[in-house]
Chains A and B, each alone.
Chain A
Amino acid sequence: MQHYPILSIVTLFLGAFLTVIFGSKNETVRKFIALVASSISLILVLMLIKPVMIENNVIQYWMGNWRPIHDWAIGIGLEVDSLGLFFGIIAVVTIFLSIVFSFRYTEKDSETDKYYVLFLMLSGSVLGLVFTGDLFNMFVMIEIMTFAAVGLTAFRNYQEGALEAALKYLVLGSIGSSLVLAGTITIYSQVHTLNMAQISALLFNNLTPSTLFAFALLLAGYSLKAFVVPFHPAAPDAYMSAPSSISMAFSGMVNKAGVYAIIRLVYVLYHAMSFKSIQLLLIIIGTITMFVGVTMALAQNDFKRLLAFHSISQIGYVITAVGVSTALGLTAGLYHALNHTLFKGLLFLTAGAVFYATGTTDLNKLGGLAKKMPQTAAVFLIGAFSISGLPPFNGFVSKWLVYQATYQANLAPVTIVALLVSVMTLASFIKVAQSIFFGQMPKEFENVKEVPLSMRIPMWIMAILCVLTGIFPNFVTKYLISPAVSAALNVGKYIDIMMGNGYAEKILGKPVEIPAVDYVLAGYWNPVAWLVLFALLLLAVTIVAVAGGFNTASLPVDGDDSKYEVFFGGEANEYSHVKGNDLFWGLKYDLRHYFGFMHDAHSGIINDYALWAIFTTTIFIVYIFLLVP
């Protein structure tokens, strides 16, 4: 059991290296290696659920057996607590489903060995990031992650904009990595250790200007990796140009790695959530993120670009809820992180399926695909309902928790913004559903077929998980979320496990209290009742529909009646699909100043985006210097 975390990381990296040697010629071999590596990793991580999540152990693992000497950490250690494992589970599920999906999805691409090599490196680095207990190791992993992600963004380099997107990601990602590195070395110069448990103990009640400066740099760097708003502009381009299985991995785990790092930083490393100003900072950037993300999404005309902006917006929910910093808020944030992985992964997979079948994701060219791709349309609707927060799907639960957490923390304006954002999310998914799956079908898509089984299976798994996490919130909360929440809040245990019992008490100078986590929360809504209601409604509609009998012969059938004759019923209707652009034009017209401003702001010039990133970092530094202690 002790070796599972390191083995799950090593397997993925080893799979990547083996693909280079054996997978460069044969397609089957590289698929086999990728499948085996990701399944082993999935199984190893899932086997950790019992000891870590249920029995509440924390796994500590000193590489090369270099244990602390005289209470001083000298080696690199892995520390897997429930918080790390929670994000680890999210990552491995995403990896596995994405790999299965990409088998058929990438069949038209050449040189897929490079795809699998980079994908396995990306996966291994995310797992390494969430399992490590060493600050510098986090930097190394985030660096591997960024470069693998940049390579994968440019994988379809024949597509317009792929190389440009990769360049943007490269520049902004490097700024993020540099900020993280600068923050890490500043901390190291102050406390002379890189072990996160020890740093956490030494920084308690001991914040100097240098460590605050490091905090601002690390917060900005990891926010850039999570693509919160002023740092976001690389994300839509990258998500749009990357293959859909990669976009799923980006929003499912690369984003989440940044979120994980932020939670680890503010809760564990700096104990910063006791400061009102840090809570406020996270809530402000989270609220801005969710609002800007969703309004930008409303104005998009490309399926994947729209999903990318929604991804940014949903990360805003997570950051806001994490910033509320009560147990309820953290529960809401982690639950929404889990749900976001599921439904956004599902939506990106449907985008991939649409692209696979039709060759485009442009909302103004598509239409009426539900007849040709019924299963894709069905899972898309599940994903769209989930992200819009309709009961009984999972988005409802976590969004409800976010509303409740923000409202109970006396942040009613934030609750209102969150509700508005949810409404706009629903609106933009009505637009997507109308322009891709419903309405009239353009002539050129008449021969479109449903995607193959190996692409449908991951989509259905994601869809079923979306429904299950929506119907059984108590179960999910009990076994996944609340252990992770208590791990994030119980810093003393995190320190003690790594540095030896009693270390935290000695350094912190007081007994380590274990915060009581109160879970009388998700009972405000009962999913089963809603499910029964929906079933009843469905039954009623069915009864009404069949009450007239199944005899439809009396109805006029198109084509053989006089309806279309000239001078009688007019002419046969021409192709008149309502395009994605045509919906919500009123809203867009009313808010034209805002949209015009956002349009001008997203200039597409890397220099501007780099300037935003640096400017926001400066604001973080000034804010933290002025307001924190």
Chain B
Amino acid sequence: MSNNRKVKDVIVKTAADLFTPIALVLGFYIILHGHLSPGGGFQGGVLVASAVILIYLGYGYSEVSKRFNMEFIKKNEALGAILFTVFGLAGILYGSVFFTNVFVGIGNVGDLISSGTIMFMNDSVGYKVLTGVGFLILLMIGLLAPDNEN
């Protein structure tokens, strides 16, 4: 079926080329500004991960499987989780309780680096979600791929 044909659709390919950077930039923007504006780690992470789908739509499974190393992504997801836990534990290290926001006084309110560790917790969530959801998408499109391409 359509899985077997070479992807040559110019419109889809061009759209993928065009929208992938937008998805990445918007996603990272939302992750980084999670403590200042609506959105946050999860929403931004899902946006970044959607870039995988765009590349798949434009270039097919063979290209995607060449570009992404699933083992590496899996380990980075765990890294995101570990970072989140470590920032949570920082609260205990600084004499308060788990998940306490420390280093609050640094920076002016409204700046990117202004709200202490909550920003880094948010970023770790974003990192975990972009790798986790990206991994899930890769897994799913891997199942869609025809056997001869595997």
A3 to B99 Cα, complex, angstroms:
12
Residue of B nearest to A64 (CB): B99
Is A147 in the interface zone, CB < 8 Å from B? no
Task: Count residues of B near A (Cβ-Cβ below 8 Å).
Answer: 19
A6 to B92 Cα, complex, angstroms:
10
Is A61 in the interface zone, CB < 8 Å from B? yes
User: B86: shortest Cβ distance to chain A, in Å?
Assistant: 9
A179 to B72 Cα, complex, angstroms:
37
A65 to B95 Cα, complex, angstroms:
11
A3 to B95 Cα, complex, angstroms:
11
Residue of A nearest to B128 (CB): A17
Residue of A nearest to B82 (CB): A17
Is A24 in the interface zone, CB < 8 Å from B? yes
Contact with A along B84-117 (1 / 0, CB 8 A): 0100110110001111110000000000000000
Chain B neighbourhood of A64, CB < 8 A: 91, 97-101
Chain B neighbourhood of A65, CB < 8 A: 91, 96-97, 100
**Which segment of B2-10, B30-38, B73-81 sits at the interface?**
B73-81
Contact with B along A58-91 (1 / 0, CB 8 A): 0001111100000000000000000000000000
| CB < 8 Å neighbour of A20 from B74, B92, B97, B100 | B74
Using a CB–CB cutoff of 8 Å, the interface residues on chain B facing chain A are 71, 74-75, 77-79, 81-82, 85, 88-89, 91-92, 96-101
Is A115 in the interface zone, CB < 8 Å from B? no
Contact with B along A2-34 (1 / 0, CB 8 A): 110011001001100110110010000000000
Given contacts A13-B85, A14-B82, list 8 more A-B pairs with CB under 8 A.
A7-B92, A17-B79, A20-B74, A20-B77, A24-B75, A63-B97, A65-B96, A65-B97
Interface core residue of B71, B89, B98, B101 (most chain A CB under 10 Å): B98
Chain B neighbourhood of A24, CB < 8 A: 71, 75
27 of the cross-chain contacts (CB-CB < 8 Å) are A2-B97, A3-B92, A3-B98, A6-B92, A6-B98, A7-B92, A10-B88, A10-B89, A13-B85, A14-B82, A14-B85, A17-B78, A17-B85, A20-B75, A20-B78, A21-B75, A24-B71, A61-B97, A62-B97, A63-B97, A63-B99, A64-B91, A64-B97, A64-B98, A64-B100, A65-B91, A65-B100
A298 to B112 Cα, complex, angstroms:
66
A63 to B75 Cα, complex, angstroms:
28
A65 to B92 Cα, complex, angstroms:
11
Chain B neighbourhood of A2, CB < 8 A: 97
A64 to B87 Cα, complex, angstroms:
11
Chain B neighbourhood of A61, CB < 8 A: 97-98
A13 to B88 Cα, complex, angstroms:
13
User: A347: shortest Cβ distance to chain B, in Å?
Assistant: 35
| CB < 8 Å neighbour of B98 from A10, A14, A21 | A10
Chain A neighbourhood of B89, CB < 8 A: 10
Chain B neighbourhood of A7, CB < 8 A: 92
Chain A neighbourhood of B85, CB < 8 A: 10, 13-14, 17
Q: Are A63 and B78 in contact (CB under 8 A)?
A: no
Chain B neighbourhood of A3, CB < 8 A: 92, 97-98
A13 to B98 Cα, complex, angstroms:
14
Contact with B along A163-198 (1 / 0, CB 8 A): 000000000000000000000000000000000000
Using a CB–CB cutoff of 8 Å, the interface residues on chain A facing chain B are 2-3, 6-7, 10, 13-14, 17-18, 20-21, 24, 61-65
Chain B neighbourhood of A13, CB < 8 A: 81, 85
Chain B neighbourhood of A62, CB < 8 A: 97
User: B135: shortest Cβ distance to chain A, in Å?
Assistant: 11
User: B103: shortest Cβ distance to chain A, in Å?
Assistant: 14
Residue of A nearest to B91 (CB): A64
Interface core residue of B77, B96, B99 (most chain A CB under 10 Å): B99
Residue of A nearest to B101 (CB): A64
User: B76: shortest Cβ distance to chain A, in Å?
Assistant: 9
A492 to B97 Cα, complex, angstroms:
25
Chain A neighbourhood of B77, CB < 8 A: 20
A7 to B93 Cα, complex, angstroms:
12
Chain A neighbourhood of B71, CB < 8 A: 24
A426 to B30 Cα, complex, angstroms:
62
Residue of A nearest to B75 (CB): A21
A210 to B97 Cα, complex, angstroms:
36
Residue of B nearest to A3 (CB): B92
Chain B neighbourhood of A10, CB < 8 A: 85, 88-89, 98
User: B147: shortest Cβ distance to chain A, in Å?
Assistant: 20
Chain A neighbourhood of B99, CB < 8 A: 63-64
A6 to B99 Cα, complex, angstroms:
10
Residue of B nearest to A20 (CB): B78
Residue of B nearest to A5 (CB): B98
Residue of B nearest to A78 (CB): B98
A40 to B97 Cα, complex, angstroms:
19
A24 to B76 Cα, complex, angstroms:
13
Q: Are A18 and B82 in contact (CB under 8 A)?
A: yes
A352 to B1 Cα, complex, angstroms:
47
Chain A neighbourhood of B74, CB < 8 A: 20
User: A76: shortest Cβ distance to chain B, in Å?
Assistant: 8
Shortest Cβ-Cβ A-B pairs, 7 listed: A20-B78, A64-B99, A17-B78, A17-B81, A63-B99, A6-B98, A17-B82
Residue of A nearest to B78 (CB): A20
A6 to B85 Cα, complex, angstroms:
11
Interface core residue of A14, A17, A62 (most chain B CB under 10 Å): A17
Interface core residue of B82, B89, B92, B97 (most chain A CB under 10 Å): B97
Chain B neighbourhood of A21, CB < 8 A: 75, 78-79, 82
Residue of A nearest to B83 (CB): A17
Residue of A nearest to B86 (CB): A14
Residue of A nearest to B80 (CB): A17
A19 to B52 Cα, complex, angstroms:
26
Q: Are A63 and B98 in contact (CB under 8 A)?
A: yes
Residue of B nearest to A61 (CB): B97
Chain B neighbourhood of A17, CB < 8 A: 78-79, 81-82, 85
A3 to B97 Cα, complex, angstroms:
7
Chain A neighbourhood of B79, CB < 8 A: 17, 21
A65 to B98 Cα, complex, angstroms:
8
A20 to B78 Cα, complex, angstroms:
6
Q: Are B78 and A18 in contact (CB under 8 A)?
A: yes
A418 to B81 Cα, complex, angstroms:
47
User: B121: shortest Cβ distance to chain A, in Å?
Assistant: 10
Chain A neighbourhood of B88, CB < 8 A: 10
User: B105: shortest Cβ distance to chain A, in Å?
Assistant: 16
User: B85: shortest Cβ distance to chain A, in Å?
Assistant: 5
A63 to B98 Cα, complex, angstroms:
6
Chain A neighbourhood of B91, CB < 8 A: 64-65
User: A319: shortest Cβ distance to chain B, in Å?
Assistant: 34
A29 to B13 Cα, complex, angstroms:
45
Residue of A nearest to B81 (CB): A17
Residue of B nearest to A18 (CB): B82
User: B66: shortest Cβ distance to chain A, in Å?
Assistant: 22
Chain A neighbourhood of B81, CB < 8 A: 13, 17
A18 to B86 Cα, complex, angstroms:
12
Chain A neighbourhood of B98, CB < 8 A: 3, 6, 10, 61, 63-64
User: A199: shortest Cβ distance to chain B, in Å?
Assistant: 22
